[in-house]
Amino acid sequence: MLLGIVFWTVLIARLANLQIVDHQKYLEEADQQHWGRMALPAERGAILDRHHRLLAHNITCKSLVVRSSDLAAAAREKRPRLKGPERPALPIRLAEAYRGRPADSLMVCVACALAPRLDTDTSSLLARMRAKQHFLYLERKMDADRESVWVHGGPLPPGATLEPETRRVRPLGTLAAEIVGSTDIDGRPLGGVEKRYDDDLRGSSGWVKTFRDGRWVEHQIPERGMRAPVAGYTLELTLDAASQAIVEERLHSAILEHHAKGGSVVLLDPNTGEILAMANESVGPGGKPEPTRARAITDMLEPGSTFKMVCYAAALEDNLITPATLLNCEGGTWYLGSGKPIHDDKHDHFTVVPAWYALMKSSNIGAGKVALKLGKDRFVDFAKALGFGACSGVDLPGEAPGYLARPTAGQDRQLATIGFGQGVSVTLMQLAMAYGAIANGGTLMRPHLVRALYDSRGNRVRTFEPEAVRRVMSARTAATMRTMLQAVVDSGTASAARMSWLPVGGKTGTAQKAEANRGGYASGRYMSLFAGFLPVDKPQLVMVTMIDEPQGTHYGGLVAAPVFKDVMETLARSGNGPISPPFEVVAPERRDAVAISSGTVALPDVRGEARRAAIARLSLAGFQVNLVGQGDRVVRQEPAPDAPQRPGQPVTLWTDEAPRLQRGSVPALVGLSLREAVGRLSEVALAARVVGGGRVVRQDPLPGSPARPGQVVTLYAFAGQ
């Protein structure tokens, strides 16, 4: 009895200590074990062009995940018994090693069941699962075809689940890829606008209170607290997708024609600084395109004769010369200081000529003598005022500042060579903005790529207005320079850019490439340039072109100037830009969209065309383009050519590297937004027919049904709750 009294006294005292004295302590420990927070990721904002065409957005996809907590819960419920085709052939040594250890044995069974479906061996998969004890991705952000294999290929073993994630996609493929940028598998930006505006695009994550039960399974309990995620802002760019496609296609054609190593083009509005298109391309061994960067802002190059406008504009501004001022060009050979003489082009040897004629014929000696009239301080200060030697401020990461040295006293030769574009380095963007200052009347604008930010409801929250950096020259000087640059196109070195129906101004440049790590210039290696604007009286567009190391002909007037003319005439023919020529002057070779009846047109035939050209034609005709595959040529289109379609309808293009569909590849689309559903279908070469609006509530055919490429999937959507 005494022992019983002692036992119950101690027990009651211990219970009182637990329930009364240490009650709060253990309650807090229990809360820490059972209650937690689960992060709710925010949806990354979309990126649109100036006409609200999608350049980048998110779609919902699935990832295959193994969690140790789920394995432990399954092991506590019962010993793992996999039946049927999923029952693994467990090696005898493994079976003996894990006998009597349910959780470990279950991990081995799961590895044996999943390894064949992942095309890997059991031992390596088991090693990965053991290295990541708590959480392991087996496959991340699968496409719809791969997802259907897991969804319809039988039940998953214990511990393995398909969890939703978002994946960043670009509906127009590689169009403006280096400008838009990309994200890694975890959604972190890697470059371009994605990186520059990451703070605006990524939004802010939320959280929800979770409860872990005795089996360590988490349950969301929003009643105990939550904060909803805030979606990122949508970016509206200044880029025009149709113009971008035209510029990329013409640049690509010029690189192929001249067997060049690459090139860049910048097309912008000189009055606002808005970048309408910026194309960059690099070619590797064998003529295959290589991944490139935004070369127009990252690569520095000698501008050659395109830089001559700087000294002429500065001398006109200071009243040191007029267009009629006579310059002695020394018969094409000028001995200045020690070293080799300065030469003009071998085809142009003249003595005393007016300044406008020296610029028209691109005389190095004439530009050098104008630079000497200015003096080193005034010339360098004026060049810096035009934006050279400093970053332009464009809203992209990685911009180079260029290089502009101030010659010291007695270095007349260095000053003269800078006057005609040697010994100075610029970026293509700096060159474009300098010519933009001449085009708009003398004001240097800051280039920019983003026009506005929108919230998830479509409300504009911020507008990026044009920003003037400084006035560089008077309107009179700018007008005089435009007239002199028009003469360069009409009768000088840039005649290949001349357009009979519209006055064009511009300047060619042929720059030798410096020899890496050796000093001096490399033999036979050039960069061909052209900077132009139109119309001369009131310029609306400025375009600068650079072709890197063209083979054979290397003069800017024969290599880069034709690209300017091709792009401008194509833009004018489309009727989509600020210039519109008379139809009888620039008549299209064929009608891209022939009207059939009220509101419908015949779909253009783009089969066999380059992907950039196909995107350009269909975009200009008013259709939305969905690309399937990463090839360079369109091999099929849906709907068929000449089919009556209303502008704005989607057109799917298959390239010569389009993925092949497998059996049972119609993805599950119910619950997705229409944008996500159409994007998911385009990835697996299926077309969409939409009924209603909002979120998808039904689809035909059903998920997992066999499908052939191009088959139409009907999406029934509803906007209600």
For residue 623, which of 605, 608, 609, 597 has the smallest C-alpha distance? 605
Percentages (nearest 5) of helix, strand, coil residues in the chain:
35, 25, 40
Q: Which of 581, 655, 579 is nearest to 615 (CA)?
A: 655
| Four-residue CA torsion sign, 355, 358, 362, 367 | negative
Predicted confidence band of residue 15 (pLDDT cuts 50, 70, 90): very high
Sequence-distant (6+) residues with CB within 8 A of 279 are: 176, 244, 247, 248, 251, 263, 264, 265
* CB half-sphere exposure, 554, CA atoms < 13 A: 17
Candidate from 10-24, 43-57, 501-515, 576-590 with smallest mean pLDDT: 576-590
Q: Which pLDDT does position 88 carry in this prediction? A: 46
Has residue 52 got a pLDDT over 80? yes
pLDDT in tens, 431-449: 999 999 999 999 999 999 9
Per-residue pLDDT of 265-316, as tens digits, reads: 999 999 999 999 999 998 877 767 777 889 999 999 999 999 999 999 999 9
**Of the segments 31-45, 75-89, 182-196, which one has the largest average pLDDT value?**
182-196
What average pLDDT does range 340-354 have in this prediction?
Answer: 82
Q: Are strands 650-655 and 624-628 parallel, antiparallel or unpaired?
A: parallel
DSSP state of 667: P
pLDDT at 145 over 90: no
- Cβ atoms of residues 426 and 307 within 8 Å: yes
As given in the structure block, the two tokens for residue 242 are 């149709």
**Average pLDDT estimate for 374-391:** 93
- Per-residue pLDDT tens for 455-493? 988 899 999 999 999 999 999 999 999 999 999 999 888
